[in-house]
Amino acid sequence: MSGQFDYLVTGGAGFIGSHLCERLIAEGKSVFVLDDLSTGQIENIEGLLSLKSFHFIEGSVLSLETVEECINMCDEVIHLAAAVGVENVINKPVETIETNVGGTENILRAARLNNTKVLIASTSEVYGKSWKVPFKEDGDIVLGPTSRNRWSYACSKAMDEFLALAYNHSYGLPVVICRFFNTVGPRQSGRYGMVLPRFINQALTGQPITVFGNGTQTRCFSLVSEVINCILSLMNTPDAIGKVINIGSTEEITILELARRVREISGSCSEIVIVPYDEAYPAGFEDMQRRVPDVSRLVELIDICPEADIDTIIRKIIEYGIPEGAQ
């Protein structure tokens, strides 16, 4: 079945989604976006709204009727809509679980009707507190107790993966699951707790650069344009169907060193301040000490992976400027 649009992008007004839409349009594809604008912003896709090859509808993936109508008009689906950011997850645990699990279930149910190919965006959070670094897709996951809603996001995204793989196994639905590792770049807001845009916002506005925890925890940051390269290549790779695939850089950096790099590259005089977790988050907050992907499966499938170094990424974000209302 051929739809009116090449792609449905849920969450297409968000950070990753809007960059993805721009890329698809630039490549001559037609794009339909479903976004409830709870965290996405219409400004992110403002330049696309007048194009005949682009259509936006404000709506929720929690409405099965809406999702079915959208998918019926599209050949393939890239499902990015989800709860965003640690702060949102901690403060809105019910919405986190309902959006992630209920929304993904609706996408899969609707896609099954026409056997529509779906890419599900998952997250490195799924690995939880595992110490088996680098993280391999078939490795064990280690989550904290259910009494700490910090882990509700990881658990809900793991449930998304179970659902997608079950639809693939039981119904033959073509699904691809991507676990993103700290995707960053121009246009990303720091308002939901994303560490790099928050550091850059603080540095450029002369505020203290606040490092939560002791700063020794490490992360790997991936430039959004390179992540999109991987997404689109995987969508066009038959061997990726039915698989979970890490997408991320393997350059590991401590959060304290990240703050120092941001301050140096931005030329800021901001003070770097250590803020203990119990002052930054509600009692009982837990974090992962290291989060590094094994990208051998990604490279085996498409022969590319995110490679931009952290200094290059920081410069690109600074050159773009602080998004309005980003603080």
**For residues 30 and 51, is the Cβ–Cβ distance under 8 A?**
no
Give one DSSP letter per residue of 196-220, joined into a string.
HHHHHHHHHTT--EEEETTS--EEE
Is-catalytic flag, 153? yes
Residue 39 and residue 64: Cα distance in Å, rounded?
Answer: 20
List % helix, strand, coil for the chain (3-state, nearest 5). Answer: 45, 20, 40
Helix (H) or strand (E) holding 82: none
Under DSSP, the state recorded for 173 is -
Give the whole-angstrom CA distance, residue 166 versus residue 171. 8
DSSP state of 142: B
- Exposed, middle or buried, 140 (CB in 10 Å: 0-12/13-18/19+)? exposed
User: Do residues 307 and 226 make contact, with C-beta atoms less than 8 angstroms apart?
Assistant: yes
Q: What does the alpha-carbon distance between residue 12 and residue 186 come to, in Å, rounded to a whole number?
A: 15
| Strand pairing report for 252-254 and 218-220 | antiparallel
Q: Is 266 helix (H, G, I), strand (E, B) or coil?
A: helix
Write down the catalytic residue from 7, 127, 153, 192: 153
Q: How far apart are CA 143 and CA 287, in angstroms?
A: 11
23-to-19, 119, 186 alpha-carbon distances in Å: 6, 16, 14
- SS3 call for 254: strand
State the catalytic residues.
Answer: 153
